[in-house]
Structure 1
Amino acid sequence: MYLKRLKLINFRNYKELELDLNEKLNIFVGNNAQGKTNIVEAIYMSSLGKSFRTSKDKELIMFNRNQSYIKVEGQKKYSNVEVEIKLVANKKKRIKVNKLSLSKNSEILNNIYVVIFSPEDLRLIKEGPSERRKFMDNELSQMKPYYFHNLNSYNKILIQRNHLLKNMRGKDNEFMLEVWDEKLIDVGVKIIEERARFVKRITPLSRLIHRKITNNRENLEVTYLSNIDYVEDTNKLKDMFKKQLKEALKIDIKRGTTTVGPHRDDLGVFIDKIDIRSFGSQGQQRTCALSLKLAEIELVKGETGEYPVLLLDDVMSELDINRQNFLIKALKDVQLFITTTEINNLEELNMDEAFIFHVENAQVNRSR
């Protein structure tokens, strides 16, 4: 798929902006803090209904305004798609897809597909487990909206269980804890199974890409590190989850928090059996992150039949020339949005088919 048009009103530092987009390559050039990433952020929101920079929608509304608006028009293989998002201060966001209002904002998923690659993603490997869980969750939510629903349900149940743990008194609370445990297990197992399938599919894709980047010098292996002793049988997995919750109960009560469940999951990332999270060089960690991101693109294509849009937010300058070359060659079938401070860093791109936008103080002018 590709995006055709973008419209913003009172979004971040843009009072009003309308852009026609190139179906292959769109480059936004300008100094820092001019508004380049705000454009990428708006596109990301049209896919997942949320920002990758903040959890507070009010921060997306222009200063001294009380509402903002995003409209993105795209083209899929067999249909057009239009997503509109209206943000109003202190109110729930309103979303329309193809002019129809959504009863639940999660229904925005599975309409526009995006993969984002930013300097923060280059730290995917060396940062903590929460970053790798987010990597799994964001992609699974986009491809499988029911996963997003299960994840939200799990987090709400987890909050209730933790609240109960902090206030444990008597048998009534013990009964309520059993109720929340059953709910946590039921939804948690669904999350664990989807994550396991995700890792099983992305591992061979990322391994193949990694071999190409490193000229067959390194062998990448990605493993799912479930916080529950994972088994493929659903009923046995539920029994294992229940057993481990009971074993951890005293610790959970003492700490006032749940120490067992998929909210403690992680990914293991190994090169030639060495744990790159702890012992890899910065170059190896970046190559692993790049391999996982490119595998993500192929996974979306395999799942949905559509290539996602790729957002490269200020990432090209973070990659050496060899990784830049590989990235560009691997993305010939994908619509690209690139933000950069220096267009000279993009010498490997085919500029003949690009739209180049110059961004300065929220003013966007196309030079080509």
Structure 2
Amino acid sequence: MYENLKTQNIDNIADFIDLRSDTVTKPDAQLREVMAAADVGDDVYGDDPNVNALQQEMADKLGKEAGLFLPSSTQSNLVAMLTHNARGDEILVGRKYHIFKYEAGGAAVLGGLTYDPLPVQEDGGLNPDDIHAAIKPDDTHFPNSKTLVLENTNSGQAISMERTKAAIDAGRAHNLNVHLDGARMFNACVKLGVDATTMADPFDSINICLSKGLGAPVGAVLVGSNDFIKQAQRWRKMLGGGMRQAGIIAAAGRFALHNYVDDLAEDHRRTKALADALNETGRYDVTYQDNQTNMLFVHFDKERAKKLGAHMRDHKIIVSAGTESRIVLHRNIDDNQLDQIISAFKSFNG
């Protein structure tokens, strides 16, 4: 997924349409005004009004008691794992999930935790039978199975509440903590027509990223009970995540939370339109399932992938031109740019 993501020899990247990720979004003039006008204080002392408001507003929206603002989703997930577990405990997690595959093994390296990666099903969820089978016996030879991590969305797929609840019930049967890496949870809410409180309700903790589909420049919020967040705050400090006048970026997160969630439906619409257009050519191997949100995947051999990258750059478009090219639509792409993207794909003959 992360093949060839770094740009090479592109000096004027602002002139390009960027399809690598929804993390590439840039704040518009309105969001910059909000940031410039933000009231600030020292958040390590708990004095930043925008950070305090963002934390509580996110907690309220997800039906939890408290929230904690962190620099990134990676740190948010790590703090959650350190809070839920003790050294030597085990995390059950999908093999393709971000917390296991794309966060540098942080929970193992920094927390002394172990992972048991489980198969991810075609819809992006976990099979309850796999969860039951992964629980370790109470025996000194084994780690303590302590926390179940789910993800929504996974590879852009919105996982149904039915699938999610079945996995959670399996975890609860063994007294596991249950954490949701909901970096793109609002994409799932919009796609499934489920409000955020309902989706978050069965989880002990949830990570929400502000700098993906929501379009804020920096940050994530971890939510949970008051006691959980109090412990998490200590881990954030230990990991270097305590920020000072962070209200400048928290204000952007607040604005995005209140104004940009409904816009995600437009990203989903454009993603489907692109998938349909690529399939109509008959020349692309496209992965786009019914529960897809703002991502699709196009598969190539290495030589053709390399040619595609060069072709798209010639058309002022950046893609992750690997053997599995992840195409991500986001709030910086409008219908006119979508037409440019479709035209560039159609003109590729490599």
Which of the two has greater helix per residue?
1
Q: Shared fold by TM > 0.5?
A: no
Alignment TM class, shorter chain as reference: under 0.3
